[in-house]
């Protein structure tokens, strides 16, 4: 793994350490001020493309280097931005995408109070969207403790390797179960 040791990278690392150590100056004991030099303001679509190219420089190459995704992240303030950025990155990855759709219904809903259109529109960070688009080598995160003994816990980072109609074949990219 190659780590940049530029002065900017070191300043950012020190800033994150100060936050983690609770030594960064706070506002009303619960907010921090993000320095202007690490904020990328939205000017137009090109701003997002530039950010993505800076963070994930090998997207268009089809590289299967899992460390490229495991050790990097783009942080944003709202889920709607996360979805937009994720879709933008996914569209730049090579390979054909596959779509998984949820099957949403409420048992014994005899009065049709929970219509399928409503259930499909629910968008929270705890559950996947109604339509989940994936490609080979797409990084994903496990949202449930599916098999903790074998490393499939909430927040485990994975890379998609193959797809079946009801199964996503992945490889764990972090922790004790890495490469399984």
Q: Does residue 40 lie within any of the structural domains? A: no
Interval 85-117: pLDDT, tens: 888 888 888 889 999 988 777 788 788 777 888
Residue 77 falls inside a structural domain:
yes
Phi, psi at 13, each rounded to 5°: -60, -45
| Terminal Cα-to-Cα distance of the chain (whole angstroms) | 19
In a domain, 37, yes or no: no
pLDDT tens digits, one per residue of 42-67: 777 888 888 888 888 777 665 666 66
Helix (H, G, I), strand (E, B) or coil at 95: coil
Contacts of 92 (CB under 8 A, 6+ apart): 52, 59, 60
* Structural domain includes residue 66: yes
Q: Are 143 and 156 in contact (CB under 8 A)?
A: no
Does residue 20 belong to any structural domain of this protein?
no
Q: What is the pLDDT of residue 4?
A: 53
79 within a domain of the structure (yes/no)? yes
> What does the DSSP 8-state code read for residue 34?
P
Q: How confident is the model at residue 2 (pLDDT cuts 50, 70, 90)?
A: very low
- Quick one: pLDDT at residue 3? 45
Number of domains composing the chain: 1
The structure's pTM equals 0.69
The whole-angstrom separation of Cα 68 and Cα 75 is 16
Q: What is the pLDDT of residues 140-152, one digit of tens each?
A: 888 889 999 999 9
Q: Which of 112-121, 127-136, 149-158 has the lowest mean pLDDT?
A: 112-121
- Mean local confidence (pLDDT), 55-84: 74
Which contacts (CB < 8 Å, 24+ apart) does range 78-86 have? Answer: 79/123, 79/124, 79/125, 83/123, 83/129, 85/48, 85/52
- Whether the predicted pLDDT of 40 surpasses 50: yes
pLDDT given at position 97: 92
Residue 76 CA to residue 83 CA, distance in Å, equals: 10
Show the domain range for 143.
Answer: 60-172
Split at pLDDT 50, 70, 90, the class of 69 is confident
Domain-located, residue 148: yes
Domain membership flag for residue 102: yes
């Amino acid at each position: 793994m190659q780590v940049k040791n530029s002065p900017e990278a070191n300043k950012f690392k020190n800033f994150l350490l100060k936050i983690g150590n609770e030594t960064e100056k706070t506002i009303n004991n619960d907010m921090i001020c993000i320095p202007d030099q690490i904020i990328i303001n939205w000017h137009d679509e090109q701003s997002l493309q530039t950010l993505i190219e800076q963070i994930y420089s090998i997207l268009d190459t089809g590289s299967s280097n899992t460390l490229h995704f495991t050790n990097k992240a783009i942080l944003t303030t709202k889920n709607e931005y996360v979805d937009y950025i994720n879709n933008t990155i996914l569209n730049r990855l090579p390979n054909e995408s596959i779509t998984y759709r949820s099957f949403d219904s409420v048992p014994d809903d005899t009065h049709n109070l929970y219509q399928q259109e409503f259930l499909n529109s629910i968008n929270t960070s705890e559950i996947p969207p109604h339509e989940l688009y994936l490609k080979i080598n797409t990084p994903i995160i496990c949202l449930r403790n599916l098999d903790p003994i074998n490393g499939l816990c909430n927040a485990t980072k994975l890379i998609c390797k193959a797809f079946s109609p009801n199964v996503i074949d992945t490889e764990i990219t972090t922790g004790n179960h890495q490469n399984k």
